Amino acid sequence: MKTVNKKTSIEEGIEEIIDQANNDYQGRHNSNDMSKRFSESWEIKYGKKYIKLINRESVWGFICLEDDSKFNLKKGDLLFPASWTAPSKNFARGNIFRGGYLVQWTGPLYYMEQ
């Protein structure tokens, strides 16, 4: 598993996250058809506070669009989903601008300081 490198824009960060999740899926499944369906089923929805990343009718994760001092979250923080409509705000799994975090095809992994 490869750590995700820091990016300069949210769009670059999303692209890198999706690439890593697709690569992880392909490495775990031997079917090219399944890998193709997985990689073609990403949906990105922009909200007021978060970007929701969806794959195959499941919420994969969220990205903060702004700082949130109440939960000590920063713009670019990668969050695990708590539900279809909301992220888990207990802590960030990483930040797309700082990099150094891990993702799998199933979602972001727990934050690992490097």
- pLDDT value at position 75? 96
**Would residue 93 count as lying in a domain?**
yes
Residue 93: helix, strand or coil by DSSP?
A: coil
**Would residue 2 count as lying in a domain?**
no
Residue 51: helix, strand or coil by DSSP?
A: strand
**Would residue 1 count as lying in a domain?**
no
Task: Give the predicted TM-score (pTM) of the model.
Answer: 0.89
Using a pLDDT cut of 70, give the percent of the chain over it: 93
Please say if the pLDDT value at position 91 is more than 80: yes
Distances (CA, A) of 23 to 14, 29, 30, 45: 14, 10, 12, 22
How many structural domains is the chain composed of? 1
Q: Over the stretch 19-70, which tens digit does the pLDDT of each residue have?
A: 999 999 999 988 889 999 999 999 999 999 999 999 999 999 999 999 999 9
**Would residue 113 count as lying in a domain?**
no
Angle value at C-alpha 22, between 98 and 74, nearest 5 degrees: 25
**Would residue 114 count as lying in a domain?**
no
